Amino acid sequence: MVSLKGVVAKANSRLTIKLAASLLAASTLISSLLGLYRDRLLNSLYMPNAVTGSPGYKVGIDAYTIAFTIPDFLFFILVSGALSVTFIPVFNQRLASGNKKSAWEISTSMINLMALITLAASVFIMVFADPLVRYVVGPGLDESGRALAISMMRVLAVSPFLFAISTVIASMQQAVGRFAFYALAPTIYNIGIIIGALFFAGGISIFGVQIFEGGIMGVALGVVLGAIMQLIVSSIGLIGFGFDYHFKIYGRNKGFRKVLSLLPARSLDQGIDYLNNIVEMNLASRMASGTARLYNQVLTLHMVPINLIGVAISTAAFPKMTERLSQGRPDLFRSELQSVLRVIIWLALPVSVITFFARGYLVSFLFNGGNALAANLLGVMVVAILFRTIYHIAARSFYAQQDTKTPLYISLVSISLNIALAVWMTMHLNMGPYGLALAQSIVAFVEVMILFAVMSRRIPKLFDAVFIHAIARMVSATGFMAIVSYFSVATLQLAITDQSFLATFPKFALITIISFGAYLWFSSILKLEEPRPVIKTMSKLLFGRVR
């Protein structure tokens, strides 16, 4: 009989960057599909008729969206990516030198410290939920929507505490190249929310006695359930890890103090980044009912390719990049970064073009029958998709060097610009949600250009002639593919009868296959290296010998 420890050990075996990226991308895809189903379910139940144009009972979707904002903000500023990019390099250094005792002291200290800080943050949200909704994130809500948002925010306040612990645990596994349970956690979280929407929203009864009335508050309970399930799954990944936990903070540990010294700059960077979301929700709450939710949905949709490509590949490559520097090999670090950058750009270009032409199909996955406003907003945000996909590896090149201040300074400039543009375009030019989307795209381009300028000075010969020539060929291949994509969409147009997911997805899949197939062909003609492993794998799958 196979033991649980043996199963976990096999799942947690160390992966190459390519396999890790594939695993994370597959996990992100599954999580994203579950997220699309989750959002489609919520939209069909709660989105106002004026936004969807469909019947049904529609109560509280803006309140639900706004209730997330402050808990998410505190999680992002205190934990999230801030922890992983500061903790992993220091943790890796200790393991590389064979000092496991120090590594366990660092990780146990981070778990306990983050738990205490986020517990205090959760209590703060519960106490001040009323003024936070009334004056900060939802001033445009009516009284019933505001009351609902306040109640849900108090329920959601527990999630930063749960996420903090699971994030430290996941970062430990990520640091040593073990991605199985790290990749599984987001999927489990979405399953929890779906359970809330399908079962808790109808009310909860025990022995015929109703203890919870249900409604959209049941979805908030599903969020908490998802956070608890994610923590449990992350913890299972520690079986056989050898982690020595103590209920103690080792304040004298130099590694722990190093993480703390790096953390404020990255946390502030994350917080400033999310501050833009708070401003956008504030502005959207003043627009037509349902706009806050609709814009938030487009933001979520535009993040799918960013997470699939930029985040997945960067997350997989980051531990190896830090390892190269800890080995004293900046030359290998540069070549590693250059190859990862090329792969990300090679993938991001066609995905952005396909997203633009097939945006109506993508939006129909969220809104039954589609939504013209959401499709147009997604089209405006295609530039943001391209450059935000590239952003993650660009920023991590600094974090691998234990430099969290440079990305912070760049974020200060870009987020200030984003907020200024969003306010100006929505309140003075009366562009509505289009102003929010356009500001996102402009700032995504500016931020990556600044990062590239600094990277070229920090890492000599990173953007050499070979690299520039390769990018030019990628752009050319994308241009040829765009023509194919345009005619594919024109041929496989969405019909009025295409109301269901099963009716629209086959058309979208065919457009994607045709477009990406053309891109592979054009890339091969232009003698790019990136399509070779893809073509080789496809050849094996299609024409390989059956064993």
User: Is the pLDDT at 381 greater than 50, yes or no?
Assistant: yes
Across 29-38, 390-399, 492-501, least confident range: 492-501
User: Is the pLDDT at 332 greater than 90, yes or no?
Assistant: no
User: Using an 8 Å Cβ cutoff, are 54 and 369 in contact?
Assistant: yes
Each residue's pLDDT tens digit, 432-481? 999 999 999 999 999 999 998 998 888 888 888 899 999 999 999 999 99
User: Is the pLDDT at 129 greater than 60, yes or no?
Assistant: yes
Please, which residues have CB within 8 angstroms of residue 68's CB and are 6 or more apart in sequence? 156
Instruction: Read off the pLDDT of each residue in 90-107 and give the average, rounded to a whole number.
Output: 83
Calpha distance 102→255 (Å, rounded):
7
Q: Residue 504 to residues 361, 369, 386: CA-CA distances in angstroms?
A: 6, 9, 24
User: Is the pLDDT at 487 greater than 90, yes or no?
Assistant: yes
Percent share of the chain, pLDDT over 70 = 84
Q: pLDDT band for 423, please (50, 70, 90 cuts).
A: very high
Calpha distance 492→488 (Å, rounded):
6
The 3-class secondary structure across 246-313, one letter per residue, is CCCCCCCCHHHHHHHHHHHHHHHHHHHHHHHHHHHHHHHCCCCCCHHHHHHHHHHHHHHHHHHHHHHH
Each residue's pLDDT tens digit, 491-546? 887 766 666 667 788 888 999 999 999 999 999 999 888 887 776 666 655 555 44
Q: pLDDT band for 384, please (50, 70, 90 cuts).
A: very high
- C-alpha 278, offset from chain centre: 17
Q: pLDDT band for 11, please (50, 70, 90 cuts).
A: low
**Residue 205: which H helix or E strand, with range?**
strand 204-206
DSSP H helices, 358-460, are 359-366, 372-380, 382-399, 405-423, 433-458
Backbone torsions φ then ψ of 212, nearest 5 degrees: -150, 130
User: Is the pLDDT at 299 greater than 60, yes or no?
Assistant: yes
Q: Which range among 64-73, 330-339, 380-389 has the greatest average pLDDT?
A: 380-389
Averaged confidence pLDDT in the chain: 82
CA angle at 229 for the pair 225 and 232, rounded to the nearest 5°: 145
Higher pLDDT pick, 404 / 474? 474
How high is the pLDDT of residue 379? Answer: 95
Percent share of the chain, pLDDT over 90 = 26
Each residue's pLDDT tens digit, 247-288? 889 988 888 888 888 777 667 766 677 788 888 888 988 888
Calpha distance 44→70 (Å, rounded):
25
User: Is the pLDDT at 58 greater than 50, yes or no?
Assistant: no
User: Is the pLDDT at 5 greater than 70, yes or no?
Assistant: no
Higher pLDDT pick, 525 / 85? 525
How high is the pLDDT of residue 12? Answer: 53
Q: Which range among 68-77, 130-139, 266-275, 526-535 has the greatest average pLDDT?
A: 130-139
How high is the pLDDT of residue 389? Answer: 93
Calpha distance 10→32 (Å, rounded):
26
Backbone torsions φ then ψ of 496, nearest 5 degrees: -60, -30
